[in-house]
């Protein structure tokens, strides 16, 4: 086997919230599990004037906060030896010299540039990296969301990055794809013969994808008010999850085999007409209520929010997929802030038995259901009916819990750990290709435009609930209900 080349992971935005909250903790765990090569270096980049020791001290302080009980001083010490810092202003070409000096120390290294900054800096960073001759043909660049505000701006970012990096060098992160249950869904679907015959309109009644947060906009009001739930969550995370559920079996797990199938689903999503926007979409905005027993302010009272803001903090959609496999099967998508619970889950509701021999009418309530949960815990449950012990034939719902933690006792990698490993190994399967991203924008844009044209305000909902009542009406018009209402 070829000896792996030494890795230089350069994090632009290396002092930022994402780097401290997610990236360094993920790299620390990989280090502790001996998954980083001994020579791997992590170079934080920002404008702040720090030296290596200053960066290590700052990172240590933040790591204690974000790693909590996982922080071990001796492990951190050996991890910190990998850390370095380069003071660079992304907008100033001549400030890339310090970084060039660092990287020039080992020209044979494999370079990964992680752009954990505002996307408005992506173009300048890529341009200046190239001018400083830091981009090798096999260098990789990782792009954080949000990649644009709409189709035109996402194209512009992709064009600008694409001038300096080939598509096979670009890793667009959607961290939901790095979550273990999502990958297990792929394994369950395509590694077992059991599910595939049932995974179609004849046996699936509806699919529900929910990503609900309990928190409000926290300190990110200014950012969020310009974005909203549709752009922040639906365009990327929810549509990617929908693709994983709905795609045809790819010929292999190779990146383009998988991404081709996801793209076909995005292109097969039935576009929303103006009438559909009124009947198949709900957008909401939270007002004051309670969360975990504590009173919380409404969205319009949060810091950084325009007092007359029409930004949605909740979206529910009924999507349809124009394929033979899924014709007529509604895919309900829902996401929101200040919801009753923190939940991220995919629910596959199967049809009821065609005829019940047990004297009770077959009911959707008792139909089989598969629940893939990403939050708060990572589980896959199959809901079945079984006979209740006793002298009468009485059926009772039971939950078959596929307990992967029990079955595989090894530590489960967090999404960012898994995705960082994939970047280092050059595996693009779990990263979003440009055409997928653009197809997703093409589908959501008419919905956003429809809302804007209607001039209506988002429907209010009380913080700590499951969203506006119109959200319940969305499945109930088909005689269905959301998972938590069962």
Catalytically active residues, by annotation: 237
Q: Please count the CA atoms within 13 angstroms of the CA of 471 that sit on its side-chain side.
A: 26
Q: For ligand NAP, give the closer residue by CB, 144 or 206.
A: 144
As a whole number of angstroms, the distance between CA 381 and CA 370 comes to 6
C-beta closer to ligand NAP: residue 14 or 109: 14
Whether residue 337 is annotated as binding a ligand: the answer is yes
Q: What separation in angstroms does the CA of 446 have from each of 263, 328, 331, 437? A: 19, 21, 18, 15
Smallest separation, CB 73 to ligand NAP (Å) = 25
**SS3 (DSSP) at 18:** helix
Q: Residue for token digits 């008419």?
A: 446
Alpha carbons 56 and 39: distance in angstroms, whole number: 17
Q: Please state the separation of Cα 434 from the chain's center in Å.
A: 16
Question: C-alpha distances in angstroms, 40 versus 8, 30, 107, 282, 283?
Answer: 6, 11, 14, 47, 46
Give the residue at shortest CB distance from ligand NAP: 16
* Min separation Cβ 148 and ligand NAP, Å: 11
Q: Minimum distance between the CB of residue 146 and ligand NAP, rounded to whole angstroms? A: 6
> Do 312 and 450 meet the contact criterion of CB atoms below 8 Å apart?
no
Is 145 labelled as part of a ligand binding site?
yes
Q: Is 366 annotated as a binding residue?
A: no
Cβ of residue 223: shortest distance to ligand NAP, in angstroms?
7
What three-state secondary structure class fits 291?
A: strand
- Which residues face 336 on adjacent strands? 212, 314
Closer to ligand NAP by CB, 115 or 347: give it. Answer: 115
**342 known ligand binder:** yes
Taking the least distance from each CB to ligand NAP, the nearer of 233 and 343 is 233
Decide whether 29 or 237 has the Cβ nearer to ligand NAP. 237
Per-residue HEC secondary structure of 34-85 comes to CCCCCCCEEEEEECCCCCHHHHHHHHHHHHHHHHHHHCCHHHHHHHHCCEEE
- Other CB atoms within 10 Å distance of the CB of residue 221: 18
* Contact set with ligand NAP (CB under 6 A): 12-19, 21, 46-48, 88-91, 116-119, 121, 144-146
315 neighbors 234 (Cβ within 8 angstroms): yes
51 is in an annotated binding site: no
**Element holding 169 (H helix, E strand):** none
E strands, 149-275, are: 170-172, 204-212
Terminal Cα-to-Cα distance of the chain (whole angstroms): 54
Specify the 3-state DSSP secondary structure of 260.
Answer: helix
Q: Which is nearer to ligand NAP, 21 or 155 (CB)?
A: 21
Q: Could you tell me the smallest distance in angstroms from the CB atom of residue 410 to ligand NAP?
A: 27
Give least dist CB 367 to ligand NAP, A: 36
Contacts of 378 (CB under 8 A, 6+ apart): 179, 180, 181, 404, 405, 412
Helix (H) / strand (E) element for 32: namely helix 24-32
Residue 164 in marked binding region: no
The residue (of 90 and 372) whose beta carbon lies closer to ligand NAP is: 90
Query: Which of 208, 477, 192 lies closest to 369, judged by CA?
Result: 208
Nearest approach in angstroms of CB 206 to ligand NAP is 30
Residue closer to ligand NAP by CB (options 174, 422) is 174
Determine whether the annotation assigns residue 318 to a binding site. Answer: no
Residue 146: partners with Cβ closer than 8 Å, 6 or more residues away: 119, 227, 231, 232, 236
Check whether 47 is labelled as a binding-site residue: yes
CB of 356 to ligand NAP, least distance (A): 47
Residues 6+ apart with CB under 8 A from 94: none
Binding residues for substrate: 175, 179, 213, 232, 337, 342
Binding residues for NADP(+): 47, 145
Binding residues: 47, 145, 175, 179, 213, 232, 337, 342
């Amino acid at each position: 086997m070829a000896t792996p080349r030494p890795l230089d992971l350069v994090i632009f935005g290396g002092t930022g919230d994402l780097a401290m909250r997610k990236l360094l903790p993920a790299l620390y765990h990989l280090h502790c599990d001996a998954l980083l090569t001994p020579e791997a270096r992590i170079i934080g980049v920002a404008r702040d004037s720090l030296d290596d020791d200053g960066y290590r001290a700052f990172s240590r302080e933040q790591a204690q906060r974000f790693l909590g009980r996982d922080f071990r001083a001796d492990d951190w010490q050996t991890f910190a030896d990998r850390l370095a810092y380069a003071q660079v202003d992304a907008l100033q070409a001549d400030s890339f010299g310090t970084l060039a000096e660092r990287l020039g120390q080992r020209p044979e290294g494999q370079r990964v540039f992680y752009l954990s900054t505002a996307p408005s800096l992506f173009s300048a960073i890529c341009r200046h990296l190239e001018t400083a001759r830091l981009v090798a043909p096999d260098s990789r660049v990782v792009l954080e969301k949000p990649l644009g505000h709409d189709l035109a701006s996402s194209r512009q970012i992709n064009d600008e990055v694409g001038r300096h990096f080939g598509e096979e060098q670009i890793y667009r992160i959607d961290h939901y794809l790095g979550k273990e249950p999502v990958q297990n869904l792929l394994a369950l679907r395509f590694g077992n013969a059991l599910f595939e015959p049932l995974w179609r309109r004849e046996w699936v009644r509806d699919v529900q994808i929910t990503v609900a947060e309990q928190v409000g906009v926290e300190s990110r009001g200014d950012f969020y008010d310009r974005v909203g739930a549709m752009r922040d969550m639906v365009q990327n995370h929810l549509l990617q999850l929908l693709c994983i559920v709905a795609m045809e079996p790819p010929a292999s797990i190779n990146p383009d085999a998988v991404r081709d199938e996801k793209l076909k689903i995005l292109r097969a999503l039935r576009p929303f007409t103006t009438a559909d926007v009124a009947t198949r979409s709900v957008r909401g905005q939270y007002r004051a209520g309670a969360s975990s027993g504590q009173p919380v302010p409404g969205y319009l009272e949060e810091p950084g929010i325009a007092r007359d803001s029409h930004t949605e903090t909740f979206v529910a959609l009924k999507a349809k997929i124009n394929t033979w496999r899924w014709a007529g099967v509604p895919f309900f998508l829902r996401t929101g802030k200040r919801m009753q619970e923190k939940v991220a889950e995919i629910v596959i509701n199967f049809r009821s038995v065609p005829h019940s021999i047990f004297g009770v009418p077959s009911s959707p309530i008792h139909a089989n259901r598969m629940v893939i949960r990403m939050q708060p815990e990572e589980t896959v449950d199959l809901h079945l009916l079984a006979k209740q012990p006793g002298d009468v034939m009485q059926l009772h719902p039971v939950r078959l819990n596929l307990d992967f933690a029990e079955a595989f006792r090894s530590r489960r990698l967090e999404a960012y750990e898994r995705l960082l490993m994939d970047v280092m190994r050059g595996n693009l399967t779990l990263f979003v290709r440009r055409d997928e991203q653009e197809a997703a924008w093409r589908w959501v844009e008419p919905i956003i435009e429809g809302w804007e044209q209607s001039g209506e305000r988002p429907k209010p909902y009380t913080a700590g609930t499951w969203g506006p009542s119109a959200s319940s009406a969305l499945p109930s018009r088909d005689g269905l209900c959301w998972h938590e209402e069962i």
